[in-house]
A and B are shown apart, each in its own frame.
Chain A
Amino acid sequence: MTTPLLSVSGLRASYGPVQVLFDVDFQVAKGSVTTLIGANGAGKTTIMKSLAGLVAPTDGEIRFEGRDITQVPSHDRVNSGLCLIPEGRLVFPGMSVEQNLRLGAIAPAARAGHNQMLAEVFDRFPRLRERRSQLAGLMSGGEQQMLALGRGLMARPHLILMDEPTLGLAPVMVKQVFETIVELRDAGFTILLAEQNAKVALELADRAYLLENGRVALSGPGAELLASPDVRRAYLGM
């Protein structure tokens, strides 16, 4: 087996005295969609932030493209191709859509050819082209999610981390976000997706991890978890 694109082992993290991740292990294979599912508070966002360098793990190792990046600052991670689409989208509200996108390419590795990348993002999300000079803070939640995704793509990521991209969106937008994820996968992107929306996430997943109280409770191919009686009862309401 080839080495995975991302490999996390023994990851622990705390907020102050409260430990929220307990020896989390998982891998993401290149070209795959891997999902983290789990209830609210299970630790998905903390994992994502640890990967992006926004939370400092207390223990464990994160290897990306064969390199130990556990201590690497966040901007260097972006520069090496690891890109987070954060929970709650976190667009820059006081800047235009286009400025938000251009900021996505602020990492030195993404700067060359960012005009071409901008055109690609606009082709993928025509809505963003229409609203390129509008302030990001004035857009709807779904549009902001598209913007956050587009901004992430501007960094030319080798691995896209998506933290609950459908949170708080209307059903029609949820569907659109999942369609976009499929498109990105088909275009060859590697994706790690954290979702509470277990059913759709598992259907998409090449591999899935179920998190419970900061621990990996179950893992396997998405279809396998989808068929598991425990998962069906606790997360799919069946």
Chain B
Amino acid sequence: MDTLLSGQMLFAALVSGSLYALVALGLNLVYGTLRLLNIAHGDLVMIGAYTAFWMISLFAVPPIISLVVAAALCALLGWAVYVGLFRRMLAKPELAKRVEANSLILFYGISVILQNLAALAFTSTSRGYQYLDTVITWQGVSMTGNRLLTLGIAAAICFGTILFLRFHLFGWGLRAVIQRREAAQVVGVNLNRVQLLTICGGFAVAGVAGVLVSMTEQITPFMGFPFTIVAFVVIIIGGLGNIGAGVLAGFCLGLVETYGIALTSPGYRSILIYGLFVGVLLIRPEGIFTKAVRS
């Protein structure tokens, strides 16, 4: 009971919650504005993680700088996917319908390719490095620097995005696209630009998450898939395309997971996560935090 109420436990829950929220944020933005179900989303986390690993191993560049490099790299990938695959198809409504239906399978293919390319290039040996792993103790809570950094950056990006969507005109346009794509075009939102910036931003955020993850976890070509699953669970709980609720749901999942495991055992991790997923789908398929409005 003592450990349950400790700040230590809460800190651990917040760190993993912030990461889940961050990974899900990108997936949710891309789904909301492009209606693409990016099953390769977790593989962008993997790319971010390897970026950080090689940057520090080969060039002694610290992860704090690799954050920018990974973001740029993943944004570039987003741009390539958008321009190379989707722009022409999304412009034509008849084709867009097919792309949306097929995006799951298409991205599954991209995911397999990315994982195997990574395995060929980097072997499947798990990698890791040490960065900011000295322990800081504050109010009796011991925290490593890298976990504090993870929490700080992930939370800042999540809440920064929410504020941007709430107060910036471009953010309003983005929300308009999420709520009603055609109506957004009717009022004069530049759909092409919103979609391009969103896919670049959504991919970049996943890359950033990968850098953060790499500071504390092992890096392998196949590390991405669990993040894809977690991200899907989070956005189903929060409601597809509902950005703020997705962030809240990410933190909730971190809490449920951490406290759930503490009350049971680590063997229950998957059962907890999938159980929550199935439970939400059965009881409230539109998401727990979604307000009911007439459309």
A and B together in one complex: yes
* Residues in chain A within 8 A of chain B (CB atoms): 15-16, 52-56, 73-75, 78-79, 83-84, 86, 90-95, 99, 102-104, 106-107, 110-111, 135-138, 151, 155
The answer to whether the Cβ of B133 comes within 8 Å of any Cβ in the partner chain is: no
- The CB with the most chain A CB atoms within 10 A, among B175, B176, B295, is that of B295
| B295/A107 in contact, CB under 8 A | no
| Known A79-B188, A102-B172; contact A54-B294, beta-carbon cutoff 8 A | no
What is the distance, in angstroms, from B273's C-beta to the closest C-beta of chain A?
Answer: 28
Question: Which residues from chain B sit less than 8 Å from chain A, CB to CB?
Answer: 91-94, 169, 172-173, 175-176, 179-180, 182-183, 185-192, 291, 293-295
Q: Can you give 24 A-B contacts (C-beta < 8 A)?
A: A16-B94, A53-B185, A54-B186, A56-B92, A74-B191, A75-B185, A75-B189, A79-B188, A86-B183, A90-B186, A92-B179, A93-B179, A93-B294, A93-B295, A94-B175, A95-B175, A104-B187, A106-B169, A106-B176, A107-B187, A111-B169, A135-B291, A135-B293, A138-B294
- A94 near B179 with CB under 8 A, answer yes
B294: chain A residues at CB < 8 Å are 93, 137-138
Q: Contacts A56-B92, A93-B293, A99-B172 given: A155-B192 contact, CB under 8 Å?
A: no
10 cross-chain pairs, A with B, having the tightest CB-CB distances, nearest first: A137-B293, A78-B188, A107-B188, A90-B183, A74-B185, A75-B190, A93-B293, A93-B295, A75-B188, A137-B294
A106-B183 in contact (CB<8A)? no
CB B33 to nearest CB in A, in angstroms, measures: 14
Across the interface, do A74 and B188 meet the contact criterion of CB distance under 8 Å?
Answer: yes
Which one of A91, A94, A99 lies within 8 Å of B291 (CB-CB)?
A94
* Beta-carbon nearest neighbor of A111 in chain B: B169
Q: Which residue of B lies closest to A14 (CB)?
A: B94
Chain A contacts for B291, CB-based, 8 A: 94, 135
How far does the Cβ of B56 sit from chain A's closest Cβ, in whole Å?
43
**A155 B188 Cβ-Cβ under 8 A:** yes
B182 partner, pick from A73, A86, A104, beta carbons under 8 A:
A86
- Quote the shortest CB–CB distance from A171 to chain B (angstroms): 21
Q: How far is the CA of A86 from the CA of B185 in the complex (A)?
A: 11
* A90-B180, A92-B180, A103-B176 known; A52+B189 contact, CB < 8 A: no
Chain A residue numbers with a CB within 8 Å of B173 are: 103, 106
Q: Evaluate whether A106 and B182 lie within 8 angstroms (CB atoms) in the complex, with A93-B295, A99-B172 already known.
A: no
In the complex, what's the smallest C-beta–C-beta distance from A104 to chain B, in angstroms?
Answer: 5
Whether A106 lies near B188 (C-beta < 8 A) is: yes
In the assembled complex, the CB of A127 is this many whole angstroms from the nearest CB of chain B, namely: 17
A140 CB → nearest B CB, Å? 9
CB pair A74–B94 under 8 Å, yes or no, is no
Query: Is there an interface contact between A54 and B182, defined as CB atoms closer than 8 Å?
Result: yes
Q: How far is the CA of A103 from the CA of B186 in the complex (A)?
A: 10
**Residue in A56, A78, A83, A106 whose Cβ sees the most chain B Cβ within 10 Å:** A106
Given A94-B291, A99-B172, decide whether A54 and B180 contact each other with a Cβ distance below 8 A.
Answer: no
A73 with B186: CB separation less than 8 A: no
Known: A15-B94, A99-B172, A135-B293. A92 touches B190 (CB 8 A): no
Known: A93-B179, A137-B293, A138-B294. A84 touches B192 (CB 8 A): no
Which B residues lie within 8 Å of A136 (CB)? 293
- Chain A residue numbers with a CB within 8 Å of B192 are 73
**A78/B94 in contact, CB under 8 A:** no
Question: In whole Å, how far is A187's beta carbon from the nearest beta carbon of chain B?
Answer: 21
Which residues of chain B are within 8 angstroms of A83 by Cβ–Cβ distance? 186
What's the minimum C-beta distance from B183 to chain A, rounded to whole angstroms? 4
Given A103-B172, A106-B173, the answer on whether A78 and B182 have CB atoms closer than 8 Å is: no
- Give Cα distance in the complex from A78 to B183, angstroms: 12
A75 to B188, CA, bound (A): 4
Which of A56, A135, A155 has a CB less than 8 Å from the CB of B187?
A: A155
User: Which of A75, A107, A138 has the most CB atoms of chain B within a 10 A radius of its CB?
Assistant: A75
Residues from chain A with a CB closer than 8 A to the CB of B189 are: 75, 103, 106
Question: With a CB–CB cut-off of 8 A, which chain B residues contact A138?
Answer: 293-294
Which A residues are CB-close (under 8 A) to B94? 15-16
> Is the Cβ of A106 less than 8 Å from the Cβ of B185?
no
Q: Which chain B residues lie closer than 8 Å to A155 at the CB level?
A: 187-188
Nearest CB of A to B269, in Å: 34
Further pairs besides A56-B92, A86-B186, A94-B291: 5, Cβ < 8 Å: A73-B191, A83-B186, A93-B179, A106-B173, A106-B176
Known A95-B175, A106-B173, A135-B293: A151·B187 in contact at CB below 8 Å = yes
The chain A residue with its CB closest to the CB of B178 is A94
Contact B187 A106 (CB under 8 A): yes
CB proximity of B229 to chain A, nearest CB, Å: 27
Q: Give the residues in chain A near B182, CB-CB below 8 Å.
A: 54, 86, 90
Q: Which residues of B contact A53 (CB under 8 A)?
A: 185
